[in-house]
Amino acid sequence: MKITKRKFLMGLTALMGSQAVAQAGSAYEAYLSFDGPSALKFLTQSEFEVVTKIADIIIPDTETGGAEKAGVGFFIDHLFASVYSEEKAKGYKALLKVFQKENPNFLEMSLKKQTQLVAKLDDRMYAEKPITNFYKYTKQFTVMGYYTSQIGAEEELAYDPVPGPYHQVALADYPKTWST
């Protein structure tokens, strides 16, 4: 069977689309099962502080609260404790350990140096190295957690709980529907 460029692109598009749907499903599942900040279930306290600091550098406080105020660190902890497989959780923790090994004093650095390090990681996000993979996943989970939080969804984004008024339509006004 010969694969044409068209078939290849259609298959690639389907694969990429299914990946996006799977990711959206994970975000929705995490959102539904997340009750807000609670006791840590997956991350240690020091790991939690590192992840929370990176998340807060990615989405800092502005006119609205940033990632830390939105509870993104707890969201990421919940994600790996309750939603993702044990294999994915272990993989993320291994990447986090690489980050901590390469940056043992990250939490003691000045905010300026922390921000410079995160900016450097952001510039090299697709380099496929353990440290950049850790950052890539942390950024993805930060955005996911922030925009499914109350602060992200209601304060950062334009929030309209009911899009427009409800107008009831009497069924008697509409006779049978047409088929063809």
> Taking Cα atoms as reference points, which of 161, 158, 156 lies closest to residue 69?
156
CB environment 155-178: b (16+ within 10 A), e (fewer): ebeeeeeeeeeeeeeeeeeeeeee
How would residue 23 be classed by pLDDT, with cut points 50, 70 and 90? low
Average pLDDT over residues 14-23: 56
Instruction: Tell me the pLDDT tens digit for each residue of 95-110.
Output: 999 999 999 999 999 9
Quote the pTM value. 0.71
- CA 58 to CA 146: how far, in whole Å? 10
For residue 118, count CB atoms less than 10 angstroms from its CB and return exposed for 0-12, middle for 13-18, buried for 19 or more: buried
For the chain, what is the largest distance between any 2 Cα atoms, rounded to a whole number of angstroms? 72
Q: Who wins on pLDDT, 14 or 53? A: 53
Rounded to whole angstroms, what are the CA distances from 22 to 74, 97, 109, 116, 124? 22, 26, 37, 33, 25
Instruction: Tell me the pLDDT tens digit for each residue of 47-96.
Output: 999 999 999 999 999 999 999 999 999 999 999 988 888 999 999 999 99
- Enumerate residues 6+ apart whose C-beta is below 8 A from 150: 70
